[in-house]
Amino acid sequence: MKNRLKNVSERMLKLGLAALAHANWHANYYSFTGYMWSELSVLQAAHAAEILIKARITQEHPLLIFEQLPRSNQTNEEFLSYNQLIEKGKTIQYFDLPERLWASTGIRISNLELYQRFGKLRNSIQHFANPIEYNCCGEARNFIYEVIDPFINECWGLCAIDFNEDTEPYIYLIETLFANQTKFLVSEQAAISCDGHIFDNPDNSSYKKIMLERFKLAGGTILFNEK
């Protein structure tokens, strides 16, 4: 089993980041042919967070993501096998992950209240119906950049802005984030890619100041047009 679990944290990190890219795509873009993108953005963002948190926990030990392990009296084998773990083990659920993360790594989830509320929205959409009082894309966007973004930055030095499925990786995504006055962490790659680009003015001086400073610290300069 040790060989099967050897690189589990790396595999989970890659999968979680792929789910994040999918969530960014569905939360911040519009499709004339796609179906239920807004609802899917919630499912994908929650899924991404769940996998990414587990990826960090498994860096400490792969078995830490399980709340229930197979018992020794359930097998005739001397050691716990991979197949037994998959068949009889039970991993920690979404709502309990922040506590296991803290206990195993000392890391706390930013905006825990949003994390828990978003999980309930995900469950509502997945198991029953879309609550009409929610803007699903807006909720997913806030979750990505208020919960996932600071988490992956603290754990791996990554930024959510770098994970997107558009062929133009930054400009249109950032335009949407600016339009919604969403604060986000800026990577060096994003800053260089957008260096000198003129974006629409977000009409919020304090927000604009924060984002200009973040791009500057990351090594790039962006401009806002004057309306």
> In this structure, what DSSP letter does residue 83 have?
H
Supply 93's token pair. 């659920």
* Segment 65-116, tens digit of pLDDT: 999 887 777 666 767 777 778 777 889 999 999 999 999 999 999 999 999 9
Q: Tell me how far apart the alpha carbons of residues 107 and 125 are, in angstroms, rounded to a whole number.
A: 29
As given in the structure block, the two tokens for residue 89 are 């083990």
Q: Which domain holds residue 39?
A: 1-160
Residue 91 near residue 65 (C-beta atoms within 8 A): yes
Out of 120, 135, 160, a domain closes at 160
End-to-end CA distance of the chain: 62
Burial class of residue 187 (count of CB atoms within 10 Å of its CB; 0-12, 13-18, 19+) = buried
The answer to whether the predicted template modeling score (pTM) of the entire model surpasses 0.85 is yes
Dump pLDDT digits (tens) for 55-78: 999 999 999 999 988 777 766 676
CA dist 116 → 7, 69, 112, 161 (Å): 29, 25, 6, 23
Is the pLDDT at 163 greater than 60? The verdict is yes
Same domain, residue pair 8 and 74: yes
Last residue of a domain, one of 114, 143, 160: 160
Query: Are 125 and 218 found together in one domain?
Result: no
